[in-house]
Structure 1
Amino acid sequence: MAEQAEQAAQVEHRTARTTVVVVTWRGREHVGECLDALAAQDRPHRTLVVDNASDDGTAAVLAAHPGRPHVLRLGRNLGYAGGLAAALSTVDTPLVAWLNDDAAPEPGWLAALEDALDADPGVAAAGSLLLSADGSVQSAGVRLTADGHGADLPEPPPSDDEPFGFCGGAALTRVDALRAVGGVPADFFCYYEDTDTAWRLRLAGRRIVTVRTARVGHRHGASSQPGSVRFHRWNERNRLLMLLRCAPAGVAARELARFALITALLPARRALGRPVPDAANFRLSLRLGVLGQVLSRLPATVAARREIGRHAAVSRATVWRRWAGR
C-alpha cells in the first residue's frame, strides 16, 4: 500500500499545473490546518511551504504532516513578500498560488481558480473569496481608493466587472505573467505586495478576476497583528513605495507630500490641543521612520519605476483613471 501511495503521489506531482506557495512564520498553531485543506483539494498540485526561520516548532509540524509538503527554510524572516519572491525562483509549474498559512481553502478552491484562468488567456490572476469564521466576506478582491490605498472589497464585483486587484491571502497567478512584470516586490516584507503586483499586471494590459466559488476560510492576521505598530509601519511605507513605482508621477508626488505635511503638522496640533487620531500610524516617530525608509529607497524605487514603465502596455494615467476611486 505504501508503494502504491508513493506511486500515486509521483503521478500527481508530474500532472500538477499549480505550485501552491504557503509562507509561514511561527505558524505552529495554524499551518497544519492549512496543509490539511490543501491535501483535500480535488485538483493535483504541488505544495511548497516557505518557512521564514520559524523558532516555535513549526518545522516539526511541517516534517510530520502526512501531505509531505516540500519545505524551503529561509535563514531569516523575509516576510510574506520575501518568502513569495524566494519561492517564485524555484517554481517550475505554469501556475503559482499564493496562500496564507492561516487560510483553509474549501476542496474545490484550486479547481475553481485554475478553470477561471483556463477560460480566458487574458486573465493573469484570479482571486478568491476570503471568509471569516462566521461566514462573512473579508475580501472579494481589492479596489484602489482615490488617494491610492488598496482596500478589500466586501463583496465580489458584478459578473460583468472585475476588481482592480486580488488579495494575496489566496490567489492564483500565471507564472510567466508574474515574472514578466518583475515578480513579487521582496523588499515590501508584507502588505501591499499583492496590490503592487496587481497594478503592474494592469499596466501590462493583463486582467484580474474574482472567482466566487473559490472559497477560503481565513484567520486574518494570525501572524502579523493588524493594528500593531509594525503593521502600520509596513502599510504606510509600502503604499508610498507602490505609488512611487506604479502611479502617475503627479499622484505619487501628491501623496508623498501629503504624508510629509501631516507628519510635520502633528507636533503643532498636539501643542495647540487639537485632536490627533490615536492610531499608531499617527505617531510622529513611526511616520518619520516611514519617511526615512521611503527616502532611503528612492533611487532603487525610481529605477524600478522606469523598468515598470518600459514594459507597460497601458499608461499609468489610463490605469489610474479606470480604477482609482471605484
Structure 2
Amino acid sequence: MTLAKEPRVTIVVVNYNCSPYVEKCLGSLLEQSYSNIEILVVDNASTDGSAEQIESNYPDIRLVKAAANRGFSAAVNTGITSSTGDLIVVLNIDAWVDRDFVRELAAALLEEPAAGMAAPKMLFARDARVVNSIGLGYNITGSNHDIGFGIDDGPQFSERRWVFGPCGGAGMYRRRMVEDIGLFDEDFFMYYEDVDYSFRAQMAGYRCIFVPTARVYHIEGGSGGSLPRPKGYYFARNSAEVILKDFPGFMLLKYSPIVVWEIAKRVCSGLLRADASPVLGYAAALGRLRQILKKRRGVKDRWRVPGAYIEGLLSENRHVLKHINLHGRPAKEPS
C-alpha cells in the first residue's frame, strides 16, 4: 500500500540472551519497504554475547544497553522513551517480518482514526500455515487468549477487524495514545503486560485493528529466557492485577463469582500437580493491593467509553476466545 506521507516509525526490539534469533529478526527489519523508520534494540543485560553481536554487525541500528534485566515491560518503556517515531512497533526478537510489515500497519492506523493500536497476523515460524495470534482476546473471567491460536490460516483471517489488543510479541501503537495513557506497567515484569496495556487503551477510547496483510513469523517461546520465578507465578499474579486494576467497578461486583471460581480452579489444578506457584502469585497480588488500587485511580481518570462497551467487548470474548470474529464481525461500537 502506498502512503502519501510516511509518519516516522520506531521499531522497539527487546533482546535477552537471544543470539540465535538476532540475524533473522534484524535482517527482516532492515529490508522493510517503509523508509521513514528507526530500529532500536534494548538489551536486557544479556550474557550470551548477543549485545556485542548487534553492536558489531548492525551499525544502523540503535542499541540501548540496560544495566540489569528489569523485565520485558521496563525494556519496552526504555525503547519508547528513547524513540523518535510517531508510530511505535514493539517486536519480539524471536520473530521476523514480511517486507511490507511496517507499511501495512502504518496504513491501517492512518485509515482507522478510532484505532490507537494495530495487531498483525502472527504465524508460527515452524509452520506458517498455522496462526499464532491475530490479536488478544480477553474475557469477563479474567482470562486471555491469542485469537486464532493453532487454527489454519485461511479466508476467516483475511479481513481487518476489531480485536481487544495486540499480542505483546508484535504490535503498533500511536505515540499520542502512549502519551495519553502512559507506558507499560513495569510491575508486571513479564506476561499480561500486553493485556493490561490494551485494557487501559480500550478504557480510554483507543481501539485495536487487526491487519491481515502485516505478517510476522514467531518462534514460540524463543525469547522467554530464564525467570526468577515459575511462569505460573507471573500468570497468576499479573492476571489478578489486571482484574483489580482495570475492571470497571460494576463489572467487579457483577462478575466476581465467576472470577473467583476461575481462580479457585487454577489454584486447585496447580496444587494437584504439586505446583504452588499460582497460590503464591495470587497471594503476591493481594500483598500489592494498596499499590494496585493507587494505579486503578489512574485508569479510572482516563475512562472515556461507556461501561456497556467494555462489558460487551469482554462478554463477547467469553465463549469464543479461540474463534472470535472468524466471520469478520467487528467489536461493538462505543455508544
TM-score where L is the length of structure 2:
0.82
Does residue 55 of structure 2 align to residue 52 of structure 1?
no
CA contact 2:32–2:102 (8 Å) conserved in 1:
yes
For residues 57 and 49 of structure 2, the distance between their equivalents in structure 1, rounded to whole angstroms, comes to 13
Map 1:117-266 to 2 at 5 A.
Answer: 117-132=109-124, 133-135=126-128, 136-154=130-148, 159=159, 161-224=161-224, 230-248=230-248, 249-250=252-253, 253-254=256-257, 257-258=260-261, 261-262=264-265
> Percent same amino acid at aligned positions?
26
For residues 16 and 161 of structure 1, the distance between their equivalents in structure 2, rounded to whole angstroms, comes to 23
- Per the TM alignment, residue 67 of structure 1 is displaced from its structure 2 partner at its CA by 5.2
- Per the TM alignment, residue 92 of structure 1 is displaced from its structure 2 partner at its CA by 2.4
Query: What letter matches 2:164 in structure 1?
Result: F
Unpaired runs of 5+ residues, structure 2, are 1-5, 321-335
- Per the TM alignment, residue 58 of structure 1 is displaced from its structure 2 partner at its CA by 0.9
Query: What letter matches 2:145 in structure 1?
Result: A
Query: What letter matches 2:118 in structure 1?
Result: A
Does residue 106 of structure 2 align to residue 114 of structure 1?
yes
For residues 112 and 265 of structure 2, the distance between their equivalents in structure 1, rounded to whole angstroms, comes to 44
The higher radius of gyration belongs to 1
* 3-state SS of paired residue (1:76): coil
For residues 82 and 128 of structure 1, the distance between their equivalents in structure 2, rounded to whole angstroms, comes to 23
CA contact 1:247–1:320 (8 Å) conserved in 2:
no
For residues 313 and 175 of structure 2, the distance between their equivalents in structure 1, rounded to whole angstroms, comes to 25
* 3-state SS of paired residue (1:243): helix
- Per the TM alignment, residue 216 of structure 1 is displaced from its structure 2 partner at its CA by 0.6
For residues 178 and 207 of structure 1, the distance between their equivalents in structure 2, rounded to whole angstroms, comes to 13
Going from structure 1 to structure 2, the CA distance change for 1:170 and 1:160 (only over 3 Å counts) comes to: closer
Does residue 282 of structure 2 align to residue 291 of structure 1?
yes
* 3-state SS of paired residue (1:30): helix
Query: What letter matches 1:107 in structure 2?
Result: R
TM-score where L is the length of structure 1:
0.84
* 3-state SS of paired residue (1:167): coil
For residues 63 and 202 of structure 1, the distance between their equivalents in structure 2, rounded to whole angstroms, comes to 37
For residues 217 and 14 of structure 2, the distance between their equivalents in structure 1, rounded to whole angstroms, comes to 16
Query: What letter matches 1:109 in structure 2?
Result: F
For residues 207 and 287 of structure 1, the distance between their equivalents in structure 2, rounded to whole angstroms, comes to 31
Going from structure 1 to structure 2, the CA distance change for 1:186 and 1:264 (only over 3 Å counts) comes to: closer
- Per the TM alignment, residue 16 of structure 1 is displaced from its structure 2 partner at its CA by 6.3
Going from structure 1 to structure 2, the CA distance change for 1:27 and 1:255 (only over 3 Å counts) comes to: farther
Query: What letter matches 1:47 in structure 2?
Result: I
- Per the TM alignment, residue 145 of structure 1 is displaced from its structure 2 partner at its CA by 2.9
Higher share of residues assigned helix: 1
Going from structure 1 to structure 2, the CA distance change for 1:291 and 1:256 (only over 3 Å counts) comes to: farther
The CA deviation string for residues 242-289 of structure 1, in whole angstroms up to 9 with x for no partner, is 11111133267546644664577679xx8xxxxx3x4xxx722x1232
CA contact 2:232–2:281 (8 Å) conserved in 1:
no
Map 1:88-107 to 2 at 5 A.
Answer: 88-107=80-99
CA contact 1:23–1:52 (8 Å) conserved in 2:
yes
For residues 67 and 144 of structure 1, the distance between their equivalents in structure 2, rounded to whole angstroms, comes to 40
* 3-state SS of paired residue (1:26): coil
* 3-state SS of paired residue (2:233): helix
Q: Tell me the residue number matched to 2:20.
A: 29
CA contact 1:243–1:251 (8 Å) conserved in 2:
no
Query: What letter matches 1:52 in structure 2?
Result: N
Match for 1:78 among 61, 70, 85? 70
Query: What letter matches 1:199 in structure 2?
Result: F
Going from structure 1 to structure 2, the CA distance change for 1:209 and 1:260 (only over 3 Å counts) comes to: closer
Task: Select between 217-226 and 43-52 the one with higher mean Cα deviation.
Answer: 217-226
* 3-state SS of paired residue (1:162): strand
Going from structure 1 to structure 2, the CA distance change for 1:244 and 1:252 (only over 3 Å counts) comes to: farther
* 3-state SS of paired residue (2:41): strand
The CA deviation string for residues 125-150 of structure 1, in whole angstroms up to 9 with x for no partner, is 00111111211110011111341211
- Per the TM alignment, residue 200 of structure 1 is displaced from its structure 2 partner at its CA by 1.1
